[in-house]
Amino acid sequence: MKFPHIILVILLSLVTAFTTEKYVASHNDNVGVAKESVYDRVMRTGTLRCGYFIEPPFTFSDPNTGKKSGIAVDLAEKIATELNLKLEWSMETSFASLTEDLILGRYDAVCASLFTLPRSGRIDYTVPYTYVPVYAFTQTGRTEFDNKLDQLDWSQIAVAGLDGEGATTIARKKIPQAKFVMLSQNDQIANMLTSVVDKKADIAFVMPTVFKEFDATNPNKLQRIASDQPFYVFNVAFGLKPNEPAFKNTLDYMMRNLSANGYLQSLFQKYDPDKLLFRPTSPYQVAP
């Protein structure tokens, strides 16, 4: 074998050995270091970190003090107390970022009124803690939509929407031919109603509690479209990072217990005295 050939063989052998060693070391590092689960992190630190978004009566935030209250807030705080955890309201999120925030670990759960939607499989949910209706609203005085939502030529109707929001997502599936007037994901849900007031859209689909809050500051501008059924009824839950079974099972357990002992029902009596939302019920019936 000639001298240059010997050098080439030696160089190739060294490169192959270095590459193999690097792969084995990297592989061993990945196998040997297990990533901490959300459940383990919460229990180790003794802190449950919650993301949230503002949606009365589930979540209120005092503009002066920042103090939070509402159905979802009280529920999250009760869960933390029962588990001997400190509750930390980590950050306000939006429909644009809540799944990414979960994946990146900016908080442990979206402790809010999250409608259960597929969301590309990038988010998991607790068992529902309630079910809420969504209705259609239009300008005061308009009656042409009454009791006709299943008969309308939606291609001639402008519907206010909010990108990523639950009612809008369902509306785009149920009535895809409608002309949607979309707001950005970072906008407020109530601004869909503002679009209808401003006549940029004919109809908006929202929870009755959202309309109540809007109507308090914009009286007699809009009215609910007459119908014997809601446009849609949503499961409402907390949002979780996917593939975290221990954490999900723990929160599911708490949701079921707080429903069985009447705590959940008491929150709706406190925050929804007008009974605009569907109430959670106990999962049993007392024998006579």
pLDDT tier for residue 6 given thresholds of 50, 70 and 90: low
**Cα–Cα distance measured from residue 227 to residue 221, given in angstroms and rounded to the nearest whole number:** 19
Percent of the chain scoring above 70 in pLDDT? 88
Residue-wise pLDDT for 8-32, tens only, equals 444 445 444 444 444 444 444 444 4
Residue 35 has pLDDT above 50, yes or no: yes
133-233 fold? D-Maltodextrin-Binding Protein; domain 2 (3.40.190)
Residue 215 and residue 222 in contact, taking contact as beta carbons nearer than 8 Å: yes
pLDDT of res. 145: 97
Who wins on pLDDT, 185 or 266? Answer: 266
Q: Which of 230, 220, 193, 234 is nearest to 58 (CA)?
A: 234
Residue-wise pLDDT for 75-92, tens only, equals 999 999 999 999 999 999
Average pLDDT over residues 115-144: 92
38-130+234-271 CATH choice from 3.10.110.10, 3.30.360.10, 1.10.10.410, 3.40.190.10: 3.40.190.10
Residue 240 and residue 98 in contact, taking contact as beta carbons nearer than 8 Å: no
pLDDT tier for residue 95 given thresholds of 50, 70 and 90: confident
pLDDT tier for residue 283 given thresholds of 50, 70 and 90: confident
- How do the domains of the chain map onto residue ranges? 38-130+234-271, 133-233
Q: Which of 130, 87, 127 is nearest to 240 (CA)?
A: 127
Same fold, 38-130+234-271 and 133-233: yes
Residue type, 114: L
Percent of the chain scoring above 90 in pLDDT? 76
